[in-house]
Structure 1
Amino acid sequence: MLRVVNRVLLGLAGLVLLCVGGAVLAAGAGWPVPSWWPWDGPDDVLLSKAARDRWRDEGWWWPVVIAVLAVVVLLALWWLIAQFRRARLAEVLVDSGDGEGALLRGRALEGVLESEAESLEGVARAHVMLTGRRSAPEARVNLLLEPFASPGDALTRLTEEAVGHARDSAGLGVLPAEVRLRAAKHGAQRVS
């Protein structure tokens, strides 16, 4: 959804900027422009001195300008924050065999995956987030490994045990998982 909104907003912004820029370029070059266009020649200015002075004495002018600019800044900040937020899957569609299906809370499946991943040998901590569509979920797993753990063994056991059990219990054909491994920091060991 966010991807579609981004494309639509960027497309509209680009179209507006292209049209306004082209019209200003045409007026600046002295080419004919429509009669309703506010600038009609290369020596014309954006706001004349009379237009700038006309609004200065109005009591409502500056509060409206500040409010509009504040709304634009808030919308831009909201959009920026939305870029970094990942859409967490709220529910997973489980095939119940009756043609209807059942809904499983995404947080519940994440919790089970986390607890099973943390029970694996060599895993200190795990964090799981489900993304994708409810009929085709994807897992993003962050594992913090103990200093003695083998990353290959931990990854193999995670995919075969934790992710495999979640896939089978939810009745999914596949459950793609993106796994990020980090090693836990530990102090130096003394040799005697």
Structure 2
Amino acid sequence: MSKSAATKALSRSYAGERALTFLVGLLALLGGALALVVGAGWLGEFRGRRPLLDPIAVGWLGGHATPARIAAIVLGVLLLVLGLRWALRSLRPEPRPDLDLDTTEGAELVVTAGAISGAIQADAEQLDGVSRARVRAVGSRTSPALRITLFLHEGTDLKGVWEDLDLRVLTRARESLGVDVLPAAVRLELDTSQAKRVR
């Protein structure tokens, strides 16, 4: 399981949100730094004492009031639409892909994401040292991926669990689903649900 495969399985659809957040934060940082530099008088004492809104810009806006208002309204509506789209995209549930194993008309065969997760979870729970597992199918119909969380008994051989998971569980899943590549992000945790009480 390569690093890129794990990244694909771990990442949701946050690339756009992260890029936009980064750009907004970068612009805010640059604006604040510029205000600090100008206010401190590092670009000249005259510029540091000037009003926040440049008198030339205020005069131009006063002379072109109608186009300036239209541009401000259009910009405001555009920012509102982009903000709503961003919020809705961030709040939507993550898709769980079903796989089309056979697309022949009249003999279609679809395996649901729940069935994929359940089968792989059952296989993973049979591994030595694994007390329970949680599996989630993510991605899309054309490029599915897995998120696997294994809860291990104390003292379990991690290397052995990792090799068994790759050779037995994931290989069998790829062969059963008929895919060459099935990225998986694996999280290993010590199972504390059955911890003994200290008296």
> Do the aligned residues in 2 keep the contact of 1:90 with 1:107 (CA within 8 Å)?
no
Check conservation: 2:96, 2:137, Cα contact below 8 A: yes
1:133 aligns with 2:137: no
Are the structure 2 counterparts of residues 27 and 184 from structure 1 closer, same or farther at C-alpha, using a change threshold of 3 Å? closer
**Residues 138 and 175 of structure 1 are in contact (CA less than 8 Å); yes or no, is this contact kept in structure 2?**
yes
Aligned to 1:6: 17
**Counterpart Cα distance in 1 of 2:19 and 2:187:** 32
Q: Does 1:82 align with 2:100?
A: no
**Where does residue 112 of structure 1 map in the other structure?**
119
Of residues 45, 49, 53, the one that matches 1:28 is: 53
Q: Which residue of 1 aligns with 2:149?
A: 142
Aligned AA for 2:97? Answer: A
Measured in 1, the distance between the counterparts of 2:95 and 2:132 equals: 20
TM-score normalised according to structure 1 size: 0.57
TM-score, with length taken from structure 2: 0.55
> How far, CA to CA, are the matches of 2:117 and 2:149 in structure 1?
12
Q: Distance in 1 between matches of 2:180 and 2:154?
A: 34
- How many residues align? The count is 142
1:139–1:175 contact (8 Å) kept in structure 2: yes
Relative to structure 1, the CA distance from residue 7 to residue 182 in structure 2 (aligned partners, 3 Å threshold; closer, same or farther) is closer
> Structure 1 residues 182 and 5 mapped into 2: Cα distance closer, same or farther (>3 Å)?
closer
Residues 92, 105 of structure 1: 8 Å contact kept? yes
Which residue number corresponds to residue 77 of structure 2? none
User: 2:130 is aligned with what amino acid?
Assistant: V
Q: How far apart, CA to CA, are the structure 2 residues paired with 1:172 and 1:181?
A: 25
Please, what is the CA RMSD of the aligned residues?
A: 4.2
Shift of the alpha carbon at 1:93?
3.1
Report % sequence identity: 24
Q: 1:182 to 1:9 in 2, by over 3 A?
A: closer
Q: Is 1:118–1:126's contact at 8 Å kept on the other side of the alignment?
A: yes
The CA distance in 1 between the partners of 2:113 and 2:186, in whole Å, is 18
Structure 1 counterpart of 2:173, from 160, 166, 171? 166
Contact 2:149–2:188 under 8 Å retained in 1:
yes
* TM superposition shift of 1:88: 3.9
Q: Which has the higher contact order (CA 8 A, sep 6+)?
A: 2
Distance 1:26 1:126 in 2: 63
| Structure 2 unmatched ranges of 5 or more | 1-11, 29-49, 70-79
Mark the structure with the bigger radius of gyration.
Answer: 1
The whole-number CA distance in structure 2 between the counterparts of 1:26 and 1:101 is 70
Whichever structure has more helix as a proportion of its residues is 2
Offset from partner CA, 1:73-107 (integer Å, 9 cap, x none): xx88x939936x7724231232x385997432111
Deviation by residue 1:55-78 (Cα, 9 ceiling, x = unmatched): xxxxxxxxxxxxxxxxx9xx88x9
Per the alignment, in what secondary structure is the counterpart of residue 56 of structure 2? coil
Do structure 1's residue 92 and structure 2's residue 108 form an aligned pair? no
